Amino acid sequence: MKTLLLFVATAIAEIVGCYLPWLWLRKGGNAWLLLPAAASLALFVWLLSLHPTASGRVYAAYGGVYVSVALAWLWWVDAVRPTRWDLLGAALCLLGMAVIMFSPRPA
């Protein structure tokens, strides 16, 4: 559970770090949005370094969680309800993440 929560926090930091510059560029937001965006991306990198296994495995598994959190962002922030196909895709991504992160490893 700790690993999953760490992945979710990492995904939120990355999404916020990318969303704020998007607001600035596409929606005419204030350039000051770039400061919290940079801080959020720095937090993302730091959180990614806290994961307890090899970086390549973490990056691969993180992608599955990122997809799911991005769809939650779509719903909560962009007010666009994901389709059942979006949800199926997210479920498959989470299943892939679980296989990668929680499968037995040779000693």
Cα 28–chain centre separation: 25
- Give the pLDDT confidence of 30-68 residue by residue, as tens digits: 999 999 999 999 999 999 888 877 677 888 888 888 999
Could you give the residue ranges of the DSSP H alpha helices within the chain? Answer: 2-26, 34-49, 55-76, 84-102
Distance between start and end Cα atoms, the chain: 22
Cα–Cα dist 83/60, whole Å: 24
Q: Which domain holds residue 91?
A: 2-102
pTM for the model: 0.82
The number of domains in the chain is 1
CA 103 from centre of chain:
21
Task: Say if 107 falls within a structural domain.
Answer: no
